[in-house]
């Protein structure tokens, strides 16, 4: 006999909306760390964030219904920090440190609301922008990306039958578990989930995170997703992102300030945080330029996160620099986080084993890898290279060069100016998949 719980069924079928974002802390932990710094040091800076789809062949505005997108963005704007979340942020230990968030900051955050958005369509793409105070607009990056990516998945799901869906997820689980088994073979591996922004869906990310927790145990060092960290008693991980040097550079009033910008934000960071949070993200305007001009104290920081150079070449250059600066790389940490999958993780791990401390931030290929899982190839299941980047600060254009020219963002004239200023050394063109 089949039994239907009528109330549940009617409830499930009469939702006006199945929200993608159900919590303000369904975001990356580094956003909160950066937010506190912005709130404290840059409360008067305006910043515009802009959605950029680098996978031009995917015409997002044709795959996703604009009104559905608006409904999801509007719903995210209704969210407030819950009491339990506020208590957890105040009381939890992050990176071994208690009270990493100041009480005044949390009081402010308790009333936080995502600001308004501007949405239009052009040439099959969405033009989505967030204008306003940096300490408000910055919080849109992750939910905006997660919403668009999950709406893409839902478009696909609607076209599939129940058994096809069942088999799709069964295969994706089997595929994920094979990765888990390969990772288990690396002793002392440290890996964490960085996959919120490009996840297939919230529920699928949660499944992957819980599978890693069960599957690789202590090698799984945490998740960047604050909500999942809270709910699953995992460490929340992540430090800072490109928006810090990008805004600092955009605000520079002369060449001297522009040259100093990448290091100024590190000084700012160090005023608020220490220890394992002192991770340098060196590639905003090219890692070679960053290392060439870095003040000596940068070598005191705990580690680097090479994010756009090929991991082995990128890591070697940082190790060489540490040696030049008289540091022992075995005391230092490299965090790899650029488009990793299991092969790249294993190769990188084997290459550097014993020479440097390593940690891997596993993103899109953890939380959105359905390749080969559908009964036929479905384009909508392929992750795209979607980002939401700061594009202006106080009305001035913000730019990222990156170690990979294909990951550069910003106005092309301005990119040219930065390239002349910082130089092009060691920039390597690589295909950007995610």
Catalog residues that contact a second copy under the rule CB under 8 A.
1-3, 5, 82-84, 86-88, 90-92, 162-163, 166, 230-231, 233
Nearer to a second copy, 85 or 338 (CB): 85
Least distance from a second copy to the Cβ atom of residue 112, Å: 17
Nearer to a second copy, 2 or 14 (CB): 2
Least distance from a second copy to the Cβ atom of residue 283, Å: 35
Nearer to a second copy, 90 or 325 (CB): 90
Least distance from a second copy to the Cβ atom of residue 231, Å: 8
Nearer to a second copy, 170 or 428 (CB): 170
Neighbouring-strand partners of residue 222? 192
Nearer to a second copy, 5 or 328 (CB): 5
What is the β-pairing status of strands 118-122 and 279-280?
A: unpaired
Nearer to a second copy, 227 or 408 (CB): 227
Rounded CA separation 167/382 (Å)? 17
Nearer to a second copy, 5 or 255 (CB): 5
What is the β-pairing status of strands 118-122 and 303-304?
A: unpaired
What is the β-pairing status of strands 125-130 and 47-53?
A: antiparallel
Least distance from a second copy to the Cβ atom of residue 162, Å: 5
Nearer to a second copy, 215 or 423 (CB): 215
How far from 31 is each of 176, 240, 322, 411, CA to CA, in Å? 27, 7, 28, 24
Least distance from a second copy to the Cβ atom of residue 209, Å: 15
Nearer to a second copy, 225 or 337 (CB): 225
How far from 167 is each of 162, 374, 375, CA to CA, in Å? 9, 8, 8
Rounded CA separation 203/169 (Å)? 11
Contacting residues for 81 by C-beta, under 8 A, at least 6 apart: 24, 25, 89, 109, 110, 112
Least distance from a second copy to the Cβ atom of residue 251, Å: 36
Nearer to a second copy, 101 or 421 (CB): 101
Least distance from a second copy to the Cβ atom of residue 6, Å: 8
Least distance from a second copy to the Cβ atom of residue 16, Å: 18
Q: DSSP state, 62?
A: H
User: By CB neighbour count within 10 A (0-12 exposed, 13-18 middle, 19+ buried), where does 107 fall?
Assistant: exposed
Least distance from a second copy to the Cβ atom of residue 382, Å: 26
Contact 49, 141 (CB under 8 A): yes
Sign of CA dihedral 67, 411, 53, 401: negative
User: By CB neighbour count within 10 A (0-12 exposed, 13-18 middle, 19+ buried), where does 118 fall?
Assistant: exposed
Least distance from a second copy to the Cβ atom of residue 356, Å: 30
Rounded CA separation 231/212 (Å)? 15
DSSP per-residue letters across 196-256: STT-S-HHHHHHHHHHHHHHHGGGEEEESBHHHHHHTT--B-----THHHHHHHHH--SHH
């Amino acid at each position: 006999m089949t039994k239907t719980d009528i109330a549940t069924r009617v409830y499930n079928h009469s939702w006006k909306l199945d929200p993608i974002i159900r919590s303000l802390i369904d975001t990356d932990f580094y956003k909160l760390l950066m937010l506190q710094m912005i709130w404290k040091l840059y409360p008067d800076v305006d910043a515009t964030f802009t959605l950029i789809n680098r996978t031009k062949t995917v015409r997002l505005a044709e795959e996703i219904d604009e009104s559905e997108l608006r409904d999801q963005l509007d719903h995210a704007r209704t969210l407030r920090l819950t009491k339990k979340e506020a208590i957890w942020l105040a009381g939890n230990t992050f990176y071994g440190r208690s009270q990493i968030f100041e009480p005044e900051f949390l009081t402010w955050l308790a009333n936080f609301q995502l600001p308004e958005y501007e949405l239009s369509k052009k040439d099959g793409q969405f033009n989505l922008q967030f204008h306003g105070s940096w300490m408000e607009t910055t919080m849109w990056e992750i939910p905006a990306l997660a919403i668009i990516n999950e709406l893409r998945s839902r478009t696909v799901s609607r076209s599939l039958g129940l058994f096809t869906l069942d088999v799709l997820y069964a295969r994706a689980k089997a595929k994920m578990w094979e990765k888990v088994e390969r990772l288990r073979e690396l002793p002392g591996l440290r890996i964490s989930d960085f996959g919120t922004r490009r996840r297939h869906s919230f529920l699928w990310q949660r499944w992957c995170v819980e599978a890693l927790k069960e599957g690789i145990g202590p090698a799984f060092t945490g998740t960047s997703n604050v909500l999942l960290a809270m709910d699953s008693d995992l460490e929340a991980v992540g430090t800072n992102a490109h928006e810090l040097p990008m805004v600092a550079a955009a605000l520079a009033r002369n060449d001297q300030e522009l040259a100093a910008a990448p290091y100024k934000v590190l000084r700012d960071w160090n005023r608020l945080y220490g220890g394992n949070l002192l991770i340098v993200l060196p590639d905003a305007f090219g890692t070679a330029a960053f290392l060439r001009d870095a003040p000596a104290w940068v070598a005191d920081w705990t580690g680097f996160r090479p994010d756009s150079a090929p991991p082995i070449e990128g890591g070697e250059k940082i190790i060489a620099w540490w040696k030049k600066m008289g540091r022992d790389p075995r005391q230092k940490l490299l965090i790899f986080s650029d488009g990793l999958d299991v092969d790249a993780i294993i190769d990188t791990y084997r290459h550097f084993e014993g020479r440097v401390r390593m940690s891997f931030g596993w993103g899109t290929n953890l939380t959105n890898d359905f390749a080969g899982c559908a009964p036929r190839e479905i384009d909508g299941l392929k992750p795209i290279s979607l980002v939401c980047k700061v594009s202006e600060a106080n009305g001035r254009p913000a730019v990222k060069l990156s170690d990979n020219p294909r990951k550069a963002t910003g106005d092309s004239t301005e990119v040219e100016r930065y390239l002349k200023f910082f130089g092009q050394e060691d920039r390597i063109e690589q295909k950007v998949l995610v």
